Amino acid sequence: MEETERMEPFLKVEDLTVQYTAGGEVIKAVNKVSFTLSKGETIGLVGETGAGKTTIVKSILRILPDPPAKIKSGTITFKGQELLSLSEHQMRKIRGSQISMIFQDPMTALNPVFTVGEQILEALRLHRKMSKKEAYTKVCEMLEMVGIPAERYGEYPHQFSGGMKQRVVIAMALSCNPALLLADEPTTALDVTIQAQVLHMMNRLKKELGTSVIMITHDLGIVAEVCDRVAVVYAGEIVEMGDKVHLFDHGLHPYTEGLFHSIPSLTGDETRLKPIKGLPPNPADLPKGCKFAPRCPYASEVCREAPVLLREAEPGHFVRCIKKLAADIKTDMTGKKDKGIDIAAAENRPQGSATDFIKRSRAAREVE
């Protein structure tokens, strides 16, 4: 892959705002989220449950239920096409073919009245124009790839365990070799052996086909092994974003710091973990200023007064925290000049390096 091609914005999400209406309340699920993704690149979205990660990726595929969900503003540009302006008929040609999604809950992702083989075969015949025989052969290959015997092609979802259903969903998403793969916790229900196979296939797709991936996961070992960049999501906002070395070795935002302190270390001397105190804010009643301020050990009144912008600490490393601001000038996500961030305080912070997390992740699979 040419370096110039990799650097082009393959996917661009800009100022995405999504709200839900429920019980007379407006739930502010995603608030002006912006990021880009290059061809062949993988970005990981991490954060607590309810942060808005799944809503972001479902907005890209345009499968949010309307009502109650509503994309209030923003643009999503994929390969030069503005997805939010396309008709439903045009989006159907993109879903499954160019953009696929591995859903978090396989129980609701599969149709109970069709066999698993038929559900994978449908996408191949629709998007790849294969004959029934060619599609059948491909489906059998995909089932074997995720650890399901091809003989189970004719069985129904209720005949599979939760983990086996997840494998079927993964096989379905990867069957058409999509240009963009949206993976919502794809390995959560899988044993470590199948996890390794799935991660290997994702990496193969990246290398051979230039597939771009948005990975939602709580496993920082997978993030370190698979992702090129990481975006930390909190209360519907990206609070920190950069390549995995930035995030693992020099994470700046207090929430990022809290995530790493909540993970046990195999080499450290700590006897107790340091969980993040408190709970995420009510998305129907978000704080006026920094969304993390009520839980932040460094917060002051200035943090609570006004919204905090996402600013650049060093090239490609953005953070949303005014307490880290220094006197030198940097740029924000829009290219405007603004105050930068003092990263010196983060240099000696005890965090796990990306290399350590990769070793631990691989070691766990080797033990199994």
pLDDT tens digits, 246-284:
888 888 899 998 888 877 766 666 677 788 888 999 999
Residues 6+ apart with CB under 8 A from 366: none
- Find the range with the poorest average confidence among 126-135, 208-217, 256-265, 332-341: 332-341
- Helices assigned H by DSSP within the chain: 3-7, 53-61, 88-94, 106-109, 116-127, 132-145, 162-174, 192-209, 220-226, 244-250, 254-261, 301-305, 354-367
How far is residue 243's CA from residue 221's CA, in Å, rounded to a whole number? Answer: 15
Mean pLDDT of 208-225: 87
Residue 77 has which token pair?
């540009």
How far is residue 105's CA from residue 186's CA, in Å, rounded to a whole number? Answer: 9
Residue 351 has which token pair?
């965090």
**Signed CA dihedral, 161, 163, 166, 172: sign only:** negative
Confidence of residue 57 (pLDDT cuts 50, 70, 90): very high
How far is residue 273's CA from residue 116's CA, in Å, rounded to a whole number? Answer: 43
DSSP string, 117-167: HHHHHHHHHHHS---HHHHHHHHHHHHHHTT--GGGGG--GGGS-HHHHHH
pLDDT tens digits, 80-124:
999 999 999 999 999 989 999 998 888 888 999 999 999 999 989
